[in-house]
Chains A and B, each alone.
Chain A
Amino acid sequence: MKLPQVVVEHLQSDFLAETRPFCVLIDANHRVVDTWGDGEWLGLAGLPAGTDLFEYAPYLLGTLDEGPFRLNFVSSPAGAVMNLVTIPHKDQHYAVFLDARRAHDDLQKKQQVSNEAVLLQANQLKLIARQRDLIAELVEAKVELNHHRRDMERTSAGKTRFIAMMSHEFRTPLASIVNYSDLALEKDSGLEEMRKSIEAISRSSRHLTSLVDAILDEARLDAGHVTLRERDFDLLELLDDLSAMMAPLAAEKGLSYATRVDADVPTHIRADDVCLRQILINLLGNAVKFTEEGGIRLYISCSDGRLVASVADTGPGISLEDQERVFRAFERGGNLQSIRSGAGLGLTITLGLAELMRGEISLDSTPGLGCTVTVYVPIVAVDDVVESEAPLPVPDASVFAVQGTTVLLCDDDEDMVALLEHYLHRAGYALITTESGAEAVEKAAAYQPDAVIMDINVPGLSGLDAARELRDKDYAGPIIAHTASKLSAEDQATFTRYFRKPAAMNELLMTIKSLTSNHAA
């Protein structure tokens, strides 16, 4: 079919309106020879002949090398969007620019939607992967949390058991103290009966003190507050001390007690004697406590620079499942829990001390056939031991004050005040008593006593702050802390001496006497 002229003209009209063609004839040096059409939409209107077209249409670069060439959707720096056709003609080129804005914008919209969909999908995949990672992390965290929870439950159960047990352990001596105190206070109590009651109260008090000490020792070890203090000492002397302490306890129960030391064990060694002594006291004390028949053996040898101390007993032994448990705080061999007293911390403390000494402990036991606990601690043999300072003199029960010595006592506990009053008066001290820190500062400033005994937890101004204020006011006499509180080294430095309640009265009196003598001098 041949299109009639009217159709051809219609199509031509539409094409021209749509594409607004602009033609430029350029020579071999891309200079304008002639133009056809409206170049205004391209920013190329009114190009004079001889102009370098590349100056105005740099995008033609590379398009004139070969014959008919077409580029679609070229966006010019001026903002026009065109389809570009270059057609060689003899040694010249026709460059034809067709407006492609509408088609470009339609395609751009479609392409935009398509690309954004792909990006969205990619992001979704990333999110899913991240979600999967998070879930895995969550599962892992949950497992860890469960693990911690079980640990906490175990600890909590252990502490609950401990509190129940300690409640019992504390109540036993407390009951004794309360009941014997009542008995001693009864009007018809004879002197002998009163003395026996007081002995019972004294025994129970000391037992209570040992329970509290055990708990505090464990807490200090646990918190890493115990440090190693090595010195040269006589090992045989230490073993003799232990025999002197343990043999009578064993004998009381009808048990034998023996110590054997290998010939190659050095007499003089360097180690922490205090730790070693406590370790052996704990092990021997346990052995005595749990053994009803037979005896206790302490065997000392040396191996690879380590002291090996084995404590063997003929007690009931420890089952395999309990052997690990007995070294954990607040646990004791199950079959013994109800029949033996104590905090259940002995072996925990012993293990802690052995580790502090860079040593270790092993336990060997067959139920019914006794138990052997062996401690290995590194030691260094030394030639001789320099004698340490002379031991403190044994406190004398009748300590007398220097004539005319005045002591200010600050304590809000009536019983403690009465007790100290008794001892201080008996020793011949003049006494000023106060119940609060502020009053203590006031009276000390007014009367200038020769010494001050200060409780810490007193109403109002604390004993610590009162001591500081006294020092600020240039009080030069000794200030002795006498408190149930544990003081830091820095706080202890505020005082001349520090006594933790319950303090040995004779020691306190000796200290007061010594300090007031110095002060008076």
Chain B
Amino acid sequence: MTTITSKVCIVGDFAVGKTSVVERFVTNQFSDKYLTTVGVKIDTKEIDLPDTDVRHKLVLWDVAGSDRFGDKEFAYLRGAAGLVFVADGTRFGTVDSALQLRGQIDERYGPIPSVILLNKHDLASEWTVSEERIGELGLVFADVYRTSAKTGEEVESALLRLASSIVETTLSDAP
């Protein structure tokens, strides 16, 4: 079996649920308690790619929440093969933060396979992000997911989709 190891960074504004998304994906657990991440929190998850003999080891870098990156934050992203942008559907400003980060990262590192997660879909009735705005996100991100780290809705689908994109990109970039 071949093992591919990829660094995936999870970025977005603070308190959008990045750590909860990772926790749901890695351990299938969720905690309601909000605990601010300082620096970066590393976790790993191995997945077997369907219909292949490839195991994909994802090294997940849960980066402290920010609406704008400086040099210290950019350092965390070095060598990232994929990016998970997370925004909070109940705070429309966090979508703007995700778009701003996307612009900064594109400028610094060029295009990297990405997905965006509009999180807290379990609170859909409190969402302030309009369908029109979500439609606009589709023009910037190839894959837009409405997720809930609380219920698990679409979290695994989004991460697996990104893992596939990374493999596709890796294979296409291979000599």
Q: Please list the residues of chain A having a beta carbon within 8 angstroms of any beta carbon in chain B.
A: 54, 58-59, 61-63, 65, 69-77, 81, 104, 107-108, 111-112, 115-116, 118-119, 122
Instruction: A58-B59, A59-B59 given; name 5 further pairs at CB < 8 Å.
Output: A71-B40, A73-B64, A77-B44, A111-B36, A111-B64
A-B contact pairs, 23 of them (CB 8 A): A58-B42, A58-B57, A59-B59, A59-B61, A61-B5, A70-B75, A71-B39, A71-B40, A72-B39, A72-B72, A73-B64, A74-B40, A75-B40, A75-B41, A81-B39, A104-B38, A111-B36, A111-B38, A111-B64, A115-B14, A115-B65, A116-B34, A119-B15
Number of interface residues of B (CB under 8 A): 26
Complex: A77 Cα to B41 Cα, angstroms: 8
Contact of B79 among A62, A72, A115, A119 (CB under 8 A): A62
Question: Is B39 a contact partner of A74 (Cβ separation < 8 A)?
Answer: yes
Q: A54-B5, A58-B59 are in contact. Are A115 and B75 (CB under 8 A)?
A: no
CB-based A-B contact count at 8 angstroms: 67
Q: A107-B38, A112-B35 are in contact. Are A63 and B43 (CB under 8 A)?
A: no
Question: Is A77 a contact partner of B38 (Cβ separation < 8 A)?
Answer: no
Complex: A111 Cα to B61 Cα, angstroms: 19
Measured CB to CB, the closest approach of chain A to B14, in angstroms, equals 5
Contact of B78 among A65, A81, A122 (CB under 8 A): A65
B127 in the interface, Cβ–Cβ < 8 Å?
no
Question: Is B7 a contact partner of A61 (Cβ separation < 8 A)?
Answer: yes
Question: Is B72 a contact partner of A108 (Cβ separation < 8 A)?
Answer: no
- With CB as the reference atom, state the residue of chain A lying closest to B9: A62
Specify which chain B residues have a CB less than 8 angstroms from the CB of A54 in the assembled complex.
5
B145 in the interface, Cβ–Cβ < 8 Å?
no
Complex: A119 Cα to B44 Cα, angstroms: 29
Measured CB to CB, the closest approach of chain A to B168, in angstroms, equals 20
The winner among A70, A75, A104 for most chain B CB atoms within 10 A is A75
Q: Which residues of B from 1 to 45 have beta carbons under 8 Å from A? A: 5, 7, 14-15, 34-36, 38-44
Q: A62-B80, A115-B14 are in contact. Are A74 and B36 (CB under 8 A)?
A: no
Specify which chain A residues have a CB less than 8 angstroms from the CB of B161 in the assembled complex.
none
Measured CB to CB, the closest approach of chain B to A72, in angstroms, equals 6
Question: Is B42 a contact partner of A74 (Cβ separation < 8 A)?
Answer: yes
Question: Is B72 a contact partner of A59 (Cβ separation < 8 A)?
Answer: no
Measured CB to CB, the closest approach of chain A to B112, in angstroms, equals 12
Specify which chain B residues have a CB less than 8 angstroms from the CB of A81 in the assembled complex.
39
